[in-house]
Amino acid sequence: MAHRGETLHKDVCCIADLKKMGSSRLAPMVRDYYNGGAMDLITLNENETAYDRYKIRPRVLINVDQIDTSTEFLGSKVSLPFGFSPAASMKLAHPDGELATSRAAAKFGLAMGLSSYSNYPLEEVAAQGTGNPYVMQMCVLRDRSITLQLLDRAEKAGYKALFLSVDVPVLGKRINEYRNEYTIPDDMSWPNILSHGADHSDRTDYVTTPEDIELAIKYGIDGIVISNHGGRQLDGMPSTLDALRVCAPVAKGRIPIAVDGGIRRGSDIFKALALGASFCFVGRIPFWGLAVCVCFSCFSILFGTDQIQYNGQEGVELAIKILRQELRITMALAG
């Protein structure tokens, strides 16, 4: 029906559909790694359900004929107020991994954060861009030479900023990784940190209290991402949306603040912006998009079985289109 709006995919109408389909095409070990979190998954689930507790108060009799979703991030204009969080080992979801995600971000003019634990070199990922902003994630490692080479390479490759992860003095207890004896394949590496082996990081920035905001401002940080690592570190801490609500008043007018974690709908993005975020990040959604475009199980990738591959970029683009469509509808209906 013409008045219903564009049908983006006959089987995937929302991110929940994308998660269901993408997850079904991953090996159990990989699926649990992507979708799981620390301990009893209290914080992981709360990240999502928190959005259900906040309601939108729509205004009517307002002209919403021209909806503009564009904004600015790190001095660059972007088409939507959300981008991709840094997340490790995307090649587990699709052989094109971070390259496909980067091409999708570039096509839609989105910001993209790249994990130090990317399976492709940071130079190759940024080379897929078309002027959209890229950010490099890193942790403070004991071997400072790794940190220095990463900084130097990211600057030369045109990355706009550095996401410094500050939430991992130790690794959270992720029970599914114990049960599955999670590891990455022998032929998969992390070229940005010149390392190889079991994956111990998919870190995004983590600041969740007003006191942390004040500390970040004191130390001259240029911006903050409210994150709890997707519920993968300390289980039982508040959702990122609840943390945003108490942190945003402290940051307002002093430092830009973004939020990461639990976003599954365009209306979630709307709510985060309404509660004080200047930008949003999504981490797991690109994984599900990549996985949707793999014909057979991820076991084939892990163990080298021949298979027909679909374009991973298309799955990530579908995710972007879904969120964009829902955000525009929410903006219009909310006035």
The answer to the question of whether 31 is labelled as a binding residue is no
The answer to the question of whether 127 is labelled as a binding residue is no
The answer to the question of whether 263 is labelled as a binding residue is yes
The answer to the question of whether 300 is labelled as a binding residue is no
The answer to the question of whether 278 is labelled as a binding residue is no
9 tagged catalytic? no
The answer to the question of whether 144 is labelled as a binding residue is no
The answer to the question of whether 322 is labelled as a binding residue is no
> Are the beta carbons of 203 and 167 closer than 8 angstroms?
yes
| 149-176 CB burial, b ≥16 within 10 A, e <16 | ebeebbeebebbbebebbbbeeebebbb
The answer to the question of whether 260 is labelled as a binding residue is yes
How far apart CA 90 and CA 87 sit, in angstroms, is 7
The answer to the question of whether 284 is labelled as a binding residue is yes
The answer to the question of whether 243 is labelled as a binding residue is no
Q: Give the count of beta carbons closer than 10 Å to the beta carbon of residue 131.
A: 9
The answer to the question of whether 229 is labelled as a binding residue is yes
The answer to the question of whether 137 is labelled as a binding residue is yes
The catalytic position among 3, 9, 200, 229 is 229
The answer to the question of whether 227 is labelled as a binding residue is yes
Could you give the residue numbers annotated as active site? 229
Give binding residues as ranges: 33, 86-88, 115, 137, 174, 227, 229, 232, 260-264, 283-284
Give binding residues for glyoxylate as ranges: 33, 174, 229, 232
Give binding residues for FMN as ranges: 86-88, 115, 137, 227, 260-264, 283-284
